[in-house]
Amino acid sequence: MVTLPDAAIQASYVEQGGCAYWMEKAGSTSHLVIAALDGAVPEGFTGHRDGDRVRAPLTPANALALRGALPNLSPGPVGPSTSVGFGDRLGLCTPGHVAALRAVDAQITPVFAQQSIREMGRTHRTPREVLDDATWGAFQAGWRGPVGADADHLHTTDDIDACVEAGFCFFTLDPNDHVNPEAENATPGRCRQIAESLDWSALDSSMDDYLARHAGRRIDLDTESITLDPESVIRALAKYGDALVQTMRLHRHLASSGVTFEVELAVDETEYPTRPVEHVVLMSELARLGVRPVSFAPRFQGGFEKGVEHIGDLETLARDFEVHAQIARAIGPYKLSLHSGSDKYSTYPLIAEATRGLVHLKTAGTSWVEALRVIARHDPDLFREILDLSIREFDQNTRSYHLSCDPARIPLDVPDAGLDDLITWADSRQVLHVGYGAALDAYRSRMYACWQAHDAELTGVIADHFVRHLAPFQPWAASKGRLDPTPVRDTPEV
C-alpha cells in the first residue's frame, strides 16, 4: 500500500490492475491520484504526470477512465436485487448515501446516479454530469459494490438518446401523459370507443385478439384469484392503451441504440390508482411484445407527495401493496417500484414485506432538502433568503408537482436556532422541496461554498436521514435466496 499524504481521503484508496487510486482534497478542490505499483497508469487519464503518478482533475474524461479502471463504478443492471435510487440533485450527497448503506449493512443495490430530465433541467445538469458526480462520490466514499444508473421519467426519444450517450443503463419509461383519466368513470360504451381507436398496429394486435387473450382470464395469486371480466379489460385498455403504445415507441427506440439496458415502467404520476386488472393487462401486454421490465411503478392508493409521509389509510395501502406484489410474482417476477418514496417511513415495512424484498425504492429531492440543514446551521441569512424565494416562486415551482402544503402557514419569525425545524415541518419542507431550481439559480455559489466548507457534516446529515429509509428493507434484502436469482432483463428488440 502507498503511504498517503495528509490531503488524501483514506476511504477512497483502492488497488486495481497494478495501480493504486485515491482522492486528495485541498480546500474546495479535489483531485484523483493514480500511482503505478507494478505496471503503468492506464490510458485515458489526463493530468499532471510525475514519474509513476498522475494527478488528475475531476473531469468527465477522467471519470470515464476511472469507471474503466474500476469496473464496479461502471453502472450495470440491478436485476431483481432489493434496490434504492438516491436521486442526488446536488452532486454532493453520494458519500452520505454510501455511509447510510454501510450503517444498515444491507445487501441493497444502490442507484446513486438517478435523475429525471425535469430535475436535470431545473438544476442545469446534463445526464453525463449526473453520472460523473455519482462516480466521484462513490469513489471518494470507497464504495466497492455494484452500482446502477437510472435515467428517470423519460418522456421522449431525445431524452433517451442523451442518457444512452452519457452511459446510463436503467431507463424509467414514463407514459403518464398518455394515460386517459376519462376512462376511470366513463361508460362501458365510451371505454370501448376509446379502446377501438388505439393505434393497434403499434401493438401488433387488434381489439378482437386483445379480448380473446384477456377477457375471462383468471390469475391465481398467493391468497386469491383475479378474473378479468370483459368490461374491466376494456376499461383497462381505454385507460392505459395509449400509454402502452407510447411505451413501445420509447422501448423500440431504446432497443435500437444497441446498448445493454433494463427498463422500469412508471405510471405513478396519474390521478387514479392502478387497479389489479389494469396491472395484469399492462404488464402482460408488454411481455407479449417482448418487453420485460425489471420493475413497475403503479399508482398506489393514497397520496404520495414530495417530502412528507404517505397521506391516507395505511391498511388500505398495505392491501394495495400486497395485491400488486402478488401479481408481480404471478406474471413476472419483477419488482414493484415505490416512487416519491422519500420520507414515507410508515410505508417501507409494508412494501418490503409485501414484495419479499423484490422492490425498488426511488427517492429524489429529500437529499436536497436535508442538505439545507447545513446551510440553516451555518448561514441562517442565506437559508432565510432561500425560503423567501421558494415561497415567492411557489406557484411556478409546483407546475409539475402535486402538493397539499400552504406557504401561508409557514412561520417566518423563527429564531436562528429553530430554522432546522422549518426543514421538518410539512408546509415549509414541501415548499423548500420544490424550490430547488430557483434557489440554485439565485444562490448556487454561496450554497456550494457552505456545503463544501462543511462536507463532513453534510455527509453525516444525509447518512442519518437515509438510515431511516434503508433499515426497513435490510431483513428482506438479506434473504435473496427466496428470490429467483436470474436477473430480469429486457431482450432488446429493434
Question: What does the CA dihedral 223, 228, 229, 230 come to, rounded to 10 degrees?
Answer: 170
Closest CA to 407 of 429, 375, 385: 429
Point out the catalytic residue in the list 242, 262, 264, 285.
264
Dig out the grid coordinates for 177 from the structure.
401523459
Alpha carbons 477 and 105: distance in angstroms, whole number: 10
Residue 152 known to be catalytic: yes
Q: Which run of H or of E encompasses 296?
A: strand 295-297
Residue 15 known to be catalytic: no
Alpha carbons 490 and 290: distance in angstroms, whole number: 8
| 12-19, Cβ contacts within 8 angstroms, sequence gap of 24 or more | 12/139, 12/140, 12/141, 12/142, 13/142, 14/70, 14/139, 14/142, 14/144, 16/69, 16/70, 17/42, 17/69, 19/69
Point out the catalytic residue in the list 119, 132, 133, 152.
152
List all residues 6 or more positions away from 270 whose beta carbon is below 8 Å from its beta carbon: 176, 179, 181, 299
Closest CA to 87 of 427, 338, 354: 338
Dig out the grid coordinates for 475 from the structure.
431483513
Edge to edge, the sheet with strand 359-362 lists: 109-111, 83-85, 359-362, 335-338, 295-297, 262-266, 170-173, 149-154, 113-116
Q: State the chain's maximal CA–CA distance in angstroms.
A: 78
Alpha-carbon distances, residue 379 vs 96, 186, 383, 397 (angstroms): 21, 54, 6, 24
Alpha carbons 23 and 3: distance in angstroms, whole number: 13
Note whether 473 and 348 are within 8 A (CB). Answer: yes
Closest CA to 228 of 331, 356, 329: 331
Active site residues: 152, 264
